[in-house]
Amino acid sequence: MTLSFYWYPNCGTCKKAKKWLDEHNVAYNSIHIVEETPSKDEILGLMEKSGLPAKKFFNTSGKKYRELNLKEKLQDASTEEMAEILASDGMLIKRPIATDGGKVTVGFKEDQYEENWL
């Protein structure tokens, strides 16, 4: 099983997750989330497989999120609309995202990685 690992190289959390994957010999393809931002359909698929609410896919601590006042805009947005917003800019997406095509993790928590990727 090779993971698709969406990350941003300057992100500290992404670096920790990548280090964890390397230390546990987990095979993955790293995908730069800004240079290769997932499409709206890819994001919808990730949302569906993760079982998480669509809002969990937003990088709420990011500068872009605040600049676009997304906290307000997302209150009434549909899942489709949220996926479209996320697909417009990789910096809006919470990272890292790891998936094996069946399971999806968003962000990095060591116990979550152990449970899903070992």
pLDDT at 1 over 80: no
Distance CA 50, CA 88 (A): 20
Top-tier CATH class for 3-117:
alpha beta
* pLDDT 10s digits, 56-99: 999 999 999 999 999 999 999 999 999 999 999 999 999 999 99
**Where exactly are the structural domains of the chain?**
3-117
Question: Per the structure block, which two tokens stand in for 61?
Answer: 């601590």
What pLDDT score does 20 carry? Answer: 98
DSSP symbol at 104: E
What pLDDT score does 41 carry? Answer: 98
Residue pair 94/106 in contact (Cβ under 8 Å)? The answer is: yes
Indicate yes or no: pTM above 0.85: yes
Q: How many CB atoms lie within 10 A of CB 1?
A: 10
What pLDDT score does 68 carry? Answer: 94
Residue closest to 36 by CA, chosen among 3, 7, 1, 68: 7
pLDDT at 117 over 90: yes
